[in-house]
Structure 1
């Protein structure tokens, strides 16, 4: 090796023992950088190289680690490639899309959620709103709420407060606490309807009864703006709606568990 002193501890040019480390140069080769250490003589300024046992040991360990990793990968191949997983996801999405196109409301709701949340597909709020609408028209309560909130926020379709009120009121009347709370806020602030603090209190009261903490706080903020007789009326109305919801739920449960009629 030109300009290299393999095991010298003295300058090969002048014999001086006054040496110091030298920084790397652009012209240094890869081999020099990997297994040698550059030195420079303080007397004659000559630059030369010596073996670096530490670099050699480190290089051997790196090569050994790479070899062991390759052996392990060869003996334990991955159970499935990303491409095969993607194919499975594509097939599932295709089946769900086919069911939704045939009018399956649950599939339409699930497809809308996938587009809304970017689950296996690119987020597309327009397609999400479209599928929520289709399922909502078939009476799916969760889809009605999601379609109503899309109308309320103008997310994926033209904002329409009055239409939002209509769609959110449907699941609210069927016991959805999120819909009840959102409906209470609309009456409280006059969104899509004139301000009605009595109705706002009523819907907050229903949602709070189901454990909606935001509704508890909203109810407390509204109650001070109402007269005693208004509070009494709102509580009576809330109790009436709650009884209706429980009655409908009980009737539906009995209908699904009743034995078929005798021929």
Structure 2
């Protein structure tokens, strides 16, 4: 029994070390993506804009190291204005309060323990646009979000969608009290 407990404790400690190593490697990779894609993204290349957004996205703190919600949404918005379906989806995810992607266990745990900003009507608008553009999973995300919204919020999302390109898109515009 003592051996099993010792093995479990060792495994838990090593998983923490592995998570830190993976997170460090991910940040280095994200920095490399930023350097490699900055010029093309600024010139309007949608693929480069998505890579820039992905590299900056996202943190529950708003900004931490390479992760910066304002920069991520800036690039996703530029790609969305060029009708990139995944940009629509990612903006829906961010504004629904889902700021942590992937297998980042510590960040997911922290997100569950803290209140994340959300703008449900805006998130639903983005998910609806992604679904209309055929992005897989967007319709399910929209349906799940609708279940957690009031009728006036859903109406607001539908009205926003009619003139979606004029809606606030970047983090600092959506959450002016949480500027980064």
Conserved in 1, the CA contact under 8 Å of 2:58 and 2:99? no
2:77 corresponds to 1:169: yes
Give CA-to-partner distance per residue, 1:153-199, whole Å, 9 cap, x none. 69xx7111221111111112321110110110000016498311111
Three-state SS of the structure 1 residue aligned to 2:83 is coil
For residue 94 of structure 2, what is the aligned residue in structure 1? Answer: 186
**Number of the residue aligned with 1:129:** 34
Q: What are the superposed Cα offsets for residues 90-127 of structure 1, whole Å, 9 maximum, x if unpaired? A: xxxxxxxxxxxxxxxxxxxxxxxxxxxxxxxxxx6543
Corresponding position: 1:211 with 2:134: yes
- SS, match of residue 139 in structure 1: coil
Does the residue aligned with 2:67 lie in a helix, a strand or coil?
coil
* 1:16 alignment partner in structure 2: none
The yes-or-no answer on 1:229 pairing with 2:152 is yes
> How far apart, CA to CA, are the structure 2 residues paired with 1:241 and 1:210?
14
Of structures 1 and 2, the larger Rg is shown by: 1
Deviates more, 1:202-211 or 1:125-134: 125-134
The unaligned stretches of length 5 or more in structure 2 are 1-28, 60-64, 101-115, 167-180
Cα 1:153/1:189, change in 2 over 3 Å? closer
State the match for 2:54 in structure 1: 149
Shift of residue 211 of structure 1?
Answer: 1.1
**CA deviation vs aligned residue, 1:30-71 (integer Å, no higher than 9, x gap):** xxxxxxxxxxxxxxxxxxxxxxxxxxxxxxxxxxxxxxxxxx
Question: Match of 2:12?
Answer: none
Runs of 5+ unmatched residues, structure 1: 1-123, 245-263
Length, aligned pairs only: 119
CA distance in 2, matches of 1:189, 1:125: 22
Distance 1:144 1:214 in 2: 21
In the superposition, the TM-score normalised over structure 2's length comes to 0.58
CA contact (8 A) 2:30 2:56 kept: no
Distance 1:164 1:128 in 2: 13
Q: 3-state SS of the aligned residue for 1:189? A: coil
Deviation at 1:129, TM superposition (A): 2.2
Mapping for residues 101-116 of structure 1, pairs under 5 Å: none
**Contact persistence 2:120–2:153 (CA under 8 A):** no
SS in 2 for 1:169: helix
CA contact (8 A) 1:190 1:196 kept: no
3-state SS in 2 of match to 1:181: helix
SS at match of 1:213: coil
Supply the RMSD in Å over aligned alpha carbons: 2.7
